[in-house]
Amino acid sequence: MKPPSLLNLIRADRGHADRNFGLDLVRAIAIILVVLCHGRFFLLGFDPFRAEIPAIALFKNGGFFGVELFFVLSGFLIGGILIRTWDKNDGLNFKLVGQFWIRRWFRTIPNYMLFLLLNATLFQWMFFEKQFSWRYLVFAQNLAWEHPDLMPLAWSLSVEEWFYVTLPLTMVWFAVMPIKSQARLLIAVLFYMALFTFLRCVIVTQDDPESWDAHIRKVVLYRLDALGYGVLFAYLMHYRAAFMNRHRIRLLCVGLALTTAAVAANSYGILHEDQSFFGREGQFGKLYLFPLTSLGLVLTLPWFAALPAPAPFIVSAVRHISLVSYSMYLLHVSFVVQLMRHFFLPATRDADPRHHMPWYVISILYWVLTIVLSTAVFKWYERPMTNLREKFARSG
């Protein structure tokens, strides 16, 4: 079988006919895990005012691993774009980086700004009152500190946007090294991964932040290495495609084993947060869980990238979820979860649910609303805004 071409991999956000099914499936899995995590309150009539029962609490894994999967996939795809550009031009310069930024920002910022506006105005009026900060406008709300309450899932979008800025600049810096092009590129990627891993190690060992989630996991400067794993594998897929394709099943098995270990460790942390070693509040969670997770997930990507397309109706369903995943991510917590809680969950500990509906009906309604509204946002706003980039930057 011919090794998967990097060109096929990086076309995942350009058109429909040439999309890579396996990578669409990865993106669909990631968003389903995240939406399932935040919809766990609607399962089995779960009362959010009680302590979480273990079977429901473990759905928190979906939030963690779904976002981590988004990170390595983004590094894989965006790193692929930058690597192809590097290969064509024997390096990167500021003109090429500027074109890359224009294309990325037309893809990501309009949707982000729309939901930031809604969170700061309409959703405030409908559901809650949370303080707005100007830092949201430049993705600095969690650059080196705890993320504010407004638009809580925006923390990962900040990580992504700073990745778009910092990785190309790192590549430009290393482009002038007087060594072979491939070696320069590999050194740049490894330096990028090592730098942000080192920053996380320093903050954990020196300051020992109190919260694994707020002070480590959701802080930009301590998480950019997660996307670096995807970039490293994009490099290997580009320059060592035959090797990666030949060993993709072995890589998949190792990746699944490491991911299983990460799931077990994270699950233990969810159920026993008072433990000091395997718990997420201990050194294991603050330092070692992140690279274990990133490596485990990224090792599966060569297998997914070579996955043949199944029946057309499955391809269409997976492709649709993948296409609307960004809108789903922005919309489901900010609006749908709040809407469902407002109408269907108890207002106080002793109150009955406001509307007596079976838990499975509420859960189905949650998913239907999320998919339908996300599809509408994608069709009438996200896709038209993304298409505008062709007027301002030529394709990389």
Domain boundary assignment for the chain = 6-391
Angle between helix axes 60-89 and 181-207 (nearest 10 degrees) is: 150
Higher pLDDT, 156 or 269: 156
pLDDT at 345 over 90: no
Return the minimum-mean-pLDDT range out of 78-92, 169-183, 210-224, 380-394. 380-394
Question: Could you give the CA distance from residue 389 to residue 395 in angstroms, rounded to a whole number?
Answer: 9
Angle in degrees, CA 247, 7, 371, rounded to 5: 90
The SS3 of residue 36 is helix
Q: For residue 105, give both structure tokens.
A: 């920002």
Helix (H, G, I), strand (E, B) or coil at 349: coil
Contact present, 127 and 338 (Cβ < 8 Å) = yes
More confident position, 353 or 204: 204
Rounded-to-integer distance, Cα 268 and Cα 165, Å: 35
Lowest mean pLDDT among 93-107, 273-287, 337-351, 379-393: 273-287
Find out whether 234 and 76 touch, Cβ atoms under 8 Å.
yes
* Cβ-contact 67, 29 below 8 angstroms: no
Say what angle helices 312-323 and 21-38 make with each other, to 10 degrees: 60
Compute the average pLDDT of residues 188-204: 96
pTM of the predicted structure, to 2 decimals: 0.92
Return the exposure string of 20-50: e unless at least 16 CB atoms fall within 10 Å of the residue's CB, then b.
bbbbbbbbbbbbbbbbbbbbbbbbeebeeee
**Residue pointed to by tokens 């499975």:** 360
> Cβ neighbours of residue 344 under 8 Å, at least 6 residues apart?
42, 353, 354, 355, 357, 362
Q: Shortest CA distance to 291 belongs to which of 198, 229, 372?
A: 229
Please give the pLDDT value at position 347: 58
3 state SS for 125-163: HHCCCCCCCHHHHHCCCCCCCCCCCCCCCHHHHHHHHHH
CA–CA dist 32, 275 (Å, integer): 29
For residue 301, which of 256, 263, 261 has the smallest C-alpha distance? Answer: 256
Residues with Cβ within 8 Å of 184's Cβ and at least 6 positions away in sequence, in order, are: 91, 174, 175, 177
Pure H helices in the chain: 6-10, 21-38, 54-57, 60-89, 94-120, 122-126, 154-174, 181-207, 212, 225-239, 241-246, 248-271, 283, 289-298, 301-305, 312-323, 325-331, 338-344, 359-377, 383-387
Whether the per-residue pLDDT at 49 is higher than 80: the answer is no
Q: Which two tokens stand for residue 376?
A: 């509408």
Confidence of residue 272 (pLDDT cuts 50, 70, 90): confident
High-pLDDT (> 70) share of the chain, %: 87
pLDDT digits (tens, 9 = 90+) for 103-147: 999 999 999 999 999 999 988 888 877 889 999 999 999 999 999
For residue 273, count other CB atoms closer than 10 A to its CB: 13
